[in-house]
Amino acid sequence: MPAHRLHRDLPYAPDQLFQLVADVERYPDFVPWWAAARVRRRESDRVYYTDQVIRMGPLTQRFTSRTEMEPSHKIHVSATEKPFDRLAIDWAFTPSGVGCAVDLSLEFLFKSATLARMLALVSGEAAHTLMKAFEHRAHNLFGSPQLGLDGIGHTH
C-alpha cells in the first residue's frame, strides 16, 4: 500500500506539537476511531510500546505499536503484531516562519485480505482525519495563535 503524506504549517512551537503527538494515551479523547490506548512499557525515554484499540464502524482491531522518538523533531510508530503486515506512522516537526512545519506519513497493510479490502475505502481519508484531529486538539489546548511582528504565532 502506498504511503499517504500530508504537510501542514501550524502556528505552534515544534515542542508543543511533538508533545501532543507523543501523548498516545490521550488519542481516544480526540481522534475519531481511536477507542483505547495504554502504554504497556517504556524501553527508554525515547521508546515505548502501546496497546491500542481502533474502532471503525462495526470493526474493532486491537494491536500493539512501538514508538521511537527524537524529542521535538520526529516520531515513528510501527506495529509489532497482527492485524498489520505493516504499519508505519511518521511525524516530523520542523521550525518554520509560522511556527512549525508538520509532515505526516501514514502507511498500513493488513494481514487479512478481507480486512484490507474493507478498509481500503477509508485508507485515503485516514491521514487527513488524523492530521485534522491533531490540528483541532492543538487549537483547543494552546489557543488561537495571534501573529506577532515576527510572523510567528504566539498564544495569549
Residue ranges of domains in the chain, CATH in brackets: 4-148 (3.30.530.20)
C-alpha distance across the termini of the chain, in Å: 43
Specify the pLDDT at position 114.
54
- Residue 127 pLDDT level (bands cut at 50, 70, 90): confident
Calculate mean pLDDT across residues 46-67: 89
pTM confidence score: 0.83
- Return the higher-pLDDT residue of 153 and 136: 136
Cβ contacts of 26-35, under 8 Å, gap ≥ 24: 27/52, 30/133, 30/136, 30/137, 30/140, 31/129, 31/130, 31/133, 31/134, 32/129, 32/133, 33/129, 35/60
